[in-house]
Structure formats: structure tokens, C-alpha cells
Structure 1
Amino acid sequence: MVPDDSHVTSNSHGAGDASRPWEQLASDYEQARSREDSLDRLVEWPAQRELLGDVNGLSVLDAGCGNGAKVAELVRDGAAASVGVDISGNFVDAPPPGTQLIQGDLSDLAAVPGLGGRRFDRIMFLQSFGYAKDPVAALRTARMMLADNGFIVLTRTQPIRYAIERAEQNGTSLGEEYFSTDSFSYRHNGWNDQVTLTKRPYTMSDLLNVFSAAGLWIEAAVEPQLSEDARRRYPHKQAVLNKYLGILLFKLRPLPG
């Protein structure tokens, strides 16, 4: 639920630990996500929910869960004892019984208190995977925490979006910026313009190679869009998707053996 591929630095305090400014930004992000016209509400969560399938009686781990609202909703929908982990620790009040929300780093899930030795039927990285210090290691750990026949649902921003933003910022071309390895920074006026987000660019091949190196294969990939009704109701959001394409969803399973 946190924005992926980002380090965040406070404009007033300079660069530092990426997790600390996220504690500033987390509540602003959740407020933005809860708006009626939020793309998370209109596009991302419905698609993520569909890819997860029936969770009744299944255990779920939400790695980088933000305030924990999504894993709490899954428990209300019948999921068994489930866990949300987020470094901010800014969690919803009174989650339903069977929901455990833990402050911890998704970069090393095995070291998070309460997760040692546990197995999950579904593990989610919803716009959070870019925070992993070592993406391959984080996915390998998650793979080992899967129960039999379990899978990972991972979402990431379409990498072309970042290339478009950089091309506009730098006066360059889409191709130049898509293959650039230089990080870029901007202020997110929709959340909190006192915080700067610094993005680590990646290509589609980068993403696919991380999955492979972690011992995972893609069972399904989805590029969700607004419904026809939502397009009519929120044309400004359709304009965003027309320009920046949206997000990518992956259903990942362990490679045999």
C-alpha cells in the first residue's frame, strides 16, 4: 500500500534513513488513498482482490501494509490468522480478531518478531516492494514463507510512467529515460509537498530478472484499468491512466524444485 520504488527524504532535514520520512508521509498517503476518486480504490485494490481469489480460511501476509486496512478487510472476508508488516507502525485502530499488525522491515521478513517459522497462503507486496534493500533476497525470503500451493501477489508502478516523468523533467526522450539508471526526485503535491520522493528507475527486464533470480515464475500478469462507469465519473483519473498507464500486478509462484 505504500508507494513503490521510493526513498523519501524530508525537504527540511535533508537526506537520511528512508524509513523515517515515510513515517511523516504515511498518514498523508492513507488520506489520499481513501478519497472517492483514488486510483487505489477505483483500480488497484479491486484488481488485487480479484487476483488473490477466495481467501476464506487462508492466512495472508501483507508486506509493507501501510495502515493495515487491506489485510484487516481480508480477515473480515474470512481470511484466517493474518499479518500486516509496515515500518511506519501507523496502523488502523481496532483491527478485527485474527489480524496482527507488526512494525517491521519488509527487507527481512524472517527477522520480524512473530513471523519466524510461520507459513502463509498468500503474501502481498502491494506497491511496497521497491522499499526492499535487496529485492531478490526479500522475495526469496517470502518464497520460503509460502505454504503449499501458496503464491505472492506483487504490484508495481508501470516503469514507463517514471520514464515519462523524467523525460518531462529533463527535456529528454522516453527511450533515454526508460534505460537511464539515474535516480530522480520530486515532490508529491497530492500527499505532502514538504516531502521529496526519490525514485529508483527500473525496466521490465529488471523486474522479470528479479523474479527469476528469486526462484519465482509468473502465473498471471494484469494491467488493470478503470471500469466504463468510473471512466465517465472520473475523467481526470482516466486522463492520468491515458498518460502514465497505471500499475502492473503479478501472481508469482515458486519454481518447481
Structure 2
Amino acid sequence: MATDDSERTTALHSPDGGDASGPWTELATGYEQARAREDSLDRLVEWPAQRDVLGDVTGLSVLDAGCGSGAKLAQLVQDGAVASVGIDISGNFVSESPDLRLLQGDLSDLAAVPDLVGRRFDRILFLQSFGYAKDPVHALRSARALLEDDGFVLLTRTQPIRYAIERAEENGTTLGEEYFSTSSFSYRHRSWNDGVTLTKRPYTMSDLLNIFSAAGMWVEKAVEPQMSREIAQRYPHKQAVLDKYLGILVFRLRPLPGR
């Protein structure tokens, strides 16, 4: 999963809590179409940054939790990853290969997925999918249990200020009010499928760091990717989005010693 910010989302306050993964089955096709566009922020900014932080995957096993169609994982297999698995709730997958297996399932509790029992992975990815976990601490602990001793989790999330800006504009409130709000909100992603409503829990930077710590992980590296000057000049409408709404956060997480 990833975020393409070519159009604003429509943010609405909602009394419902948590992130429902069910609507993703309807959004999957629209997401893949948006990501395939030449000016997709995923193509221009997010995936290159994720790939850079991930590093060389030759001979490494990768688990992609919330893999969408599995296209990114398929690319990693082409780059040398082996015995790799993708899991997504939608089940709309690319073709498998000897080193690529794609499973329909929920990323909220990876340890409970039958096909993962007894498996260990060198790299585990949550590429803009972590927000769909029912219990984020449990989801990350579950992933941590599947890591090889020298493995790490690559996790990306939308900069939380972005959502606060959108809600402030929608509700006529201030940035601070919305950034620190604890009320869940619903939105429709216009560039994916504006007929589907998703519910989000708001979060702050401290929320993310506390989740990592509670799950027994520490941040080895954090990146806030931006466009190069050349790409920004080529796609000024996308640079305008980043200038106003910021972008994503990329974390490389490793287990805390002794946890």
C-alpha cells in the first residue's frame, strides 16, 4: 500500500475507532492504477526512498505485510530476494514465481497466519500499510517474532501533520487542535475511489515512537524523502503537494536487545 497525493482526500470526523481493512478490497484496483501513473508520488519519491533504506536484498527473504498487488515484492525478487512472501487483504495479486508467494490475509497478526508458522525473514515491510493494523503494537510484535536475528523492519507512514492540515481545512479548526485530536476520522481518497470511506486513528510523532518502543523496537534510521530538484521542476504540481502536506516517514526498525 502507498499514498498518492495527487488530490486531497476528503476528511470527515467519524465516531468509529480503528482502521477497517475491509474497504481496502474495493480500493485496491484504484490504488494500483494511481501508483502506475508517471507522476505518482510513490514512483517519484516513496518507492525510491524505501528501496534505498532497504538496501541490497540479494539472497535475503522478505515478508511484505500489506503488499497490495505484490508488485513491489516481485521487483525485490527480481533484484535477488529469495523465499519471499506477500500478504494482503485484497487478494488481487500479480503472478507468483519460485521465490515469490502471495497470500490473502490480515497483517494485524502475522504470527497467526498458518503459512508463516515456523518461518523467519531477513526483512519485513510495512509500506504504508501499518495504519490498517487493528492493534499496532501487537502487529509489530508479531512481525518482530518473525525476524531473523540480524533482520529489520522497514516501516513507512504518512507524515501525521498532513492529516492534521487536511482536517483543519475541512473543519475550520487549527493545526494544533487537529494534530493532538484523539477522535477518529473518515475520509475518501479521490484519486483512488471516492465511493469508499476509510476510517483512521489520528497519531502524532510521539505516538509512533511509543508504539515502536512498546513493541520492543528501536529506530536505527529515519528518512523524510523529498523530490530532487530535477524531478520537482519536471512535476511542479507534485512538489506543491509536498510543500503543503509534507510527505512520508521511512523507519528502519530493529529489535531492542534482550526484548
Q: Which TM-score band applies after superposition, normalised by the shorter structure?
A: over 0.9
Displacement of 1:2 in angstroms is 4.7
Is residue 2:64 matched to residue 1:59?
A: no
Distance 2:190 2:34 in 1: 11
Match of 1:100 in 2: 101
Displacement of 1:20 in angstroms is 2.8
Q: How does 1:130-141 map to 2 (within 5 A)?
A: 130-141=131-142
Match of 1:190 in 2: 191
Match of 2:8 in 1: none
Is residue 2:52 matched to residue 1:50?
A: yes
Query: Amino acid of the residue matched to residue 236 of structure 1?
Result: H
Larger mean Cα displacement after TM superposition, 237-246 or 96-105? 96-105
Match of 2:41 in 1: 39
Distance 1:133 1:18 in 2: 8
Match of 2:250 in 1: 249
Query: Amino acid of the residue matched to residue 61 of structure 2?
Result: S
Displacement of 1:181 in angstroms is 0.7
Query: Amino acid of the residue matched to residue 175 of structure 1?
Result: G
Which of 86, 89, 96 lines up with 1:87 in the alignment?
89
Distance 2:185 2:208 in 1: 19
Distance 1:135 1:3 in 2: 19
Query: Amino acid of the residue matched to residue 190 of structure 2?
Result: N
Is residue 2:181 matched to residue 1:180?
A: yes
Match of 1:68 in 2: 70
Displacement of 1:144 in angstroms is 1.1
Distance 1:228 1:96, change over 3 A: farther
Using the size of structure 2 for normalisation, the TM-score is 0.92
Q: Which runs of 5+ in 1 are unaligned?
A: 5-14
* Contact kept? 1:184, 1:200, Cα under 8 Å: yes
Displacement of 1:77 in angstroms is 0.4
Higher relative contact order (CA 8 A, sep 6+): 2
Displacement of 1:3 in angstroms is 5.2
Count of residues paired in the alignment: 246
* Contact kept? 2:23, 2:197, Cα under 8 Å: no
Displacement of 1:21 in angstroms is 2.0
Percent identical pairs in the alignment equals 78
Displacement of 1:96 in angstroms is 3.2
For residues 45-65 of structure 1, what are the alpha-carbon distances to aligned partners after superposition, in whole Å with 9 as ceiling and x for unaligned?
Answer: 000001111100000000000
Partner SS state of residue 219, structure 1? strand
Query: Amino acid of the residue matched to residue 52 of structure 2?
Result: E
Match of 1:160 in 2: 161
Partner SS state of residue 25, structure 1? helix
Distance 1:54 1:171 in 2: 46
Partner SS state of residue 201, structure 1? coil
Query: Amino acid of the residue matched to residue 87 of structure 2?
Result: V
Q: CA RMSD in A?
A: 1.6
* Contact kept? 1:62, 1:125, Cα under 8 Å: yes
Match of 2:20 in 1: 18
Distance 2:253 2:82 in 1: 21
Distance 1:24 1:130 in 2: 17
For residues 86-122 of structure 1, what are the alpha-carbon distances to aligned partners after superposition, in whole Å with 9 as ceiling and x for unaligned?
Answer: 0111101x23321000001100101113100100000
* Contact kept? 2:187, 2:198, Cα under 8 Å: yes
Distance 1:27 1:115 in 2: 26
Distance 1:3 1:131, change over 3 A: farther
Query: Amino acid of the residue matched to residue 172 of structure 1?
Result: T
Match of 1:149 in 2: 150
Distance 1:115 1:249 in 2: 25
Partner SS state of residue 20, structure 1? coil
Distance 1:3 1:229 in 2: 22
Displacement of 1:22 in angstroms is 1.2
Q: Which runs of 5+ in 2 are unaligned?
A: 5-15
* Contact kept? 1:3, 1:128, Cα under 8 Å: no
